[in-house]
Structure 1
Amino acid sequence: MTSSVADALVGRVIDGRYRILSHLADGGMASVYVALDGRLDREVALKIMRPGLATDDVFVERFRAEARSAARLSHPNVVAVFDQGEDDGEVFLAMELVEGKTLRDVIHEEAPLTAREALAILEPILLALRAAHVAGMIHRDVKPENVIVRRDGEVKVADFGLARAITNQAATSQTGVLLGTVSYLSPEQVERGVADTRSDVYAAGLLLFEMLTGRKAVTGGTPIQIAYNHVHGSIVTPSSVVPGVPAELDDLVAHATALEPEDRFDSAAAFVAALRAVRRGLSADELDRRGTAVVPDPATTSVLPADSSTTQASPAARPRRADLPTAPERHRTRPNEVGRAALAGLPVHDDAPALEHTAAMPIDRRAGRRGRWPLWLAAVLVLVGGAFGGWWFTMGPGGSTVVPAVVGQPISQAVGAMEQASLSVETVEEFSEGKAKGVVLRVEPGAGSELGKESTVRVVVSKGRERYAVPKLVGTRLNGAGAALSPLTLRLGDRAQDWSETVPEGVVISQDPAPGESVRRNTAVSVVVSRGRQPIEVPTVTGAPFDAASAAITKAGLTVRRGEDVNSDAVPAGQVVSQSPDKGTLHRGDAVTVVVSKGPVMVQVPNVVDQPDTAAEKTLTDLGFKVDKQYPFGELFEKKVRAQSLAAGTSVPKGSTISLTIV
């Protein structure tokens, strides 16, 4: 971002909240500004991604990852991230504005540091890394530019933008590009592209070396040479560069920067424990002895290569200002507002304070720290310093304050009370069944706790009752119902089954609670699942009167289809002769076809009286009658029909028997 573009943003309001006051610095991914948070009336550092990168999804995601990573950490020695968002194409990150110097500036102006000073700075760095490691994160880019020493001496670790969750071995490269600053990369990051908590330990060990000597521990003419020396070289002892550095610190550096990860401290917690043990074992003289770096031999280097024939010139004992890297992390300093660091003679506790809020080195002293001042000037400074110190540690920024009681108050009122008590607020939301949204549930530390001014208090605010809208499960398959409920913290309850003529088998017919109903976390949603269409046993109605047969079929849930009636000699008219199907199962609404009897075939009886017996018999049999011939007087006469048993003209069933009287 050019200076003109950067200056053009000054005065603009971002996201309706952050008014940009001034331009601080430019980095590889973003430019940084001092902005006024209009909502909370406080200054913040506003990091805005470069316009060319704001359209790159990969860079935007990495930029947002910085906010997510840092927001997970709540620790006095970690630069707080307040907000993240996008406004009219400007992707931004709002952070705590830390007024002070980077550790790079302190090393450049003050190193070599005394053992007391170096350990006083390193301890809060390790405490910040320990908090990250406990939270399951590794920083992966620990370097002096990412460490800020506030004007009151507070040490803060910044830029968790490269932080990643700890797995067995977290990858340190993306699309083949190694992430991190090459001078502080561990051998395993260079060689295998993996990192864990011990990689942060390695970088912290390099910081200790640099503070004790004023030189980088691993150098080279090119990034490739530096990376090679990480893998194939070894770190020289600080005492070989600055005579008088205690041997215990040599051992501490060696342990932290061992080539193999398993030979190092396994975490920042182990490193800080060893640091405290070393400090307790050193005398006051050893802690406060200030050495001078020896002029390096051109044939030597801070790194001893494994191949003794490979050497490179080390940098001068005091790097020139022009040689210092310009890093994006410089945005956390307020230029031209801070004096040089006063490092000597500051007492350091053997064990960390209860809140581990370590004030390492107030930055108040002028440049001539090693000269002998006239006694009269020293006396004046003592008087002035006493008055100033009394103000500083009482009413001034160095004083203490008490956490006010704000539980039960609206968050806006609570923030005002905290700011009036000279405390910063970090808000965290959580659900509450008993408190309305926006009401303070608790504060950490609790009300009445005594803290240093400008300390950060964690305020937990109610998000209201935790409720979730029940999703619609009706019409979905049972095996997908659980997946639909899980993201809403709901669970699948009782599962009943029922027949359904319209819903396929395995699909939810109904649910309780109903879709859209607001319920609590972990509420069980019961469902009724379709078994498909219900099978119905076909009733037997053959031989039954049609009306009775039709009623039986309809009652079973089936429909009646009447086929063409047929004559039947065996089945009386109106009764069912046959049905189809006559057994098995059907589904509701399916049809059963029945055939109804019309009874036997009816034939009109002819008149055969006075006909010869043979002719009469033939006439009747041709019509389907049966003939019974009677000869009352024998067969002596003419053999004519004199009478018939069924009267002529009547209709009788075919096959009926007609008796003939023949004389």
Structure 2
Amino acid sequence: MATVHRAVDEVLEREVAVKLLHAHLATDPAFLDRFRREARSAAALAHPNVVAVHDWGETDDGAYLVLQLIEGPSLREVLRRRGRLSPSQALGVLAPAAAGLGSAHRAGLVHRDVKPENLLLSGDGQVHVTDFGLARAAASATSTFGADVLVGSPHYLSPEAVRGRPLDPRADVYALGVVLFECLTGRPPHEGDSPFATAVAHTSQRVPPPSTLVPGIPPELDGLVVAATAHEPDERPEDATVFARELALAVPGGMEPLALDGLLGDTVVPSRPAARGSTVALAPGDPTTVVSGRPGPPAPPGSTGTRRIDDRDVDVAASTRTHLDDVGDESADDVDQGVDDGPGGRSRGWLVLLVVLALLAASAAGGYLVWDRVLAPVTPIPVVVGEAHGAAVADLEQAGFDVRVAQDRPNDLEVPADHVLDQDRDGDARRGATITLVLSGGPRQVTVPDVVGDTRELAEQRLADAGLRPQTTEAHDEQVAAGLVVRTDPAAAEVLDETSAVTLTVSLGPEPIDVPDVRGLDEGAAAAELDGAELGMAITGRVHDVSAPGTVVQQDPLDTTAHRGDTVDVVVSLGPAPVEVPDVRNMLVDEATIVLEELGLSVEVDRRGGFGSWLRPNRVFEQDPGPASDLLPGETVILYAYDE
């Protein structure tokens, strides 16, 4: 839909990218109207993971956008070079891209054409999403594509897009799920015989879990791909922000930025018809109206074909003519110096010249054939990524290539140390070409930090920051307060592979124990009982009680739990309290008895006769012990009384 030019903004003195829309769109009123609206909406986005739209306008050459210039490859070029990405590398690309898309979704925008070609990686590893709204604008160009046309990339179209239904952010989530599948497996999930067949496959076939193609992919990633590419939009994450969050949770090793060595600068991309990520126009439901591309310009007059040599298109006929012209000029001069210019001399000279030219041409052709077919033939380059260093070198040298090993050895979680992480060339090359291998340094080595005594949250954060994966268990500890780390396994200062698990043991505090009931025991027995439970005893008081002296009559705490070493407070009996004997003399015996018994005393009556029994019958005339004496409850008071 457009051609991109590098340009200079003369006002702000900065390099920019200018996207000039193709001429067939420039005169379409519907497209231009939609283009203006989409350009304004895209320019309003301000997010570090979205290519900034600086300006837009229209000239005689057509409509254009002025965009932020991204120096680096697209995700498509990365996948073409590397084949596929590790889960951590896929997270490093798609999480920022989803964050950028999420900002657009919050602003009410739907991208509609999410694909690896529209995810750009800058030199600092930043990911940028581009071409917001361009597919939507092109879809409105009905004078070019026809009514109800669908514009997008068939490999990444959601089922509702293929059916021509309205689209919302979940259509972009579907495309993100397909791109995630392709990053993990190196290929899209559906590949039809035509763009339309590929698009329709999204409505009839489900995207399989990536692990069916690449064993070892975490189940969480399988689940996210399946959920994001569900046929029904309601079954997908609601927008790209939710997708980014679920992707981060599904990758246990965390994010790994892509090393872009060899992918920056001018990237030579082999030409191929109907590129996988091409944006095409499809009429939903009608396979006869597929528009998969536009015819290129006609071949220049007189051209006889091209030959593909070392990724360069060479006009064989033109170069051959030039070479023969040069040879012919030199040969003609040489022949003219030794040939008679008589009537037959010129014809003989031309004959000699033709013979010389024929011999030179035969010699050149023969030499080229020897070089091309014997000395340096074009040979397939073995793919040695993942092989051990020695085996990879042997395979390449056996195929006739020179091998150079790069000095840098990037760390990688999946490729073991001294195995090939990347090779700078694939496809075909001439024997003797140099293939550069990048060897893996294996997983990054991480020292376990000392987090003993830290809170659980702080310890988990410090381990995650170090590149390790914290796991937590809990246990009672008599010395370490609840919520603090008691120990780690492996211990601090040990060296582990990045993303290795480290188990944190977090204290639950001292272990609780049941407090025994020691009421009714004497002091010694109570102390022994509590000591057996690893508790102390403190006598906090002694009180009079009906219990025998020295008996525990109260304790605190009771019917609960405590911790080892805690103290139980007890109250010990002094025995019953003494009673002051009242003066019951001159009372009737029955009255005196009642008074004394109410005080807990026993009563014994000793009756006497005599003269007093006439004057004071049935009255107490003496008591033992006497008034104001102290007796313990239950002791006896003797009453001396006259007979009745």
TM bin, normalised by shorter chain, reads 0.3 to 0.5
Greater RCO structure (CA 8 Å; 6+ sep): 1
TM-score, normalised by the number of residues in structure 2: 0.40
Larger % of helix: which? 2
TM-score, normalised by the number of residues in structure 1: 0.39
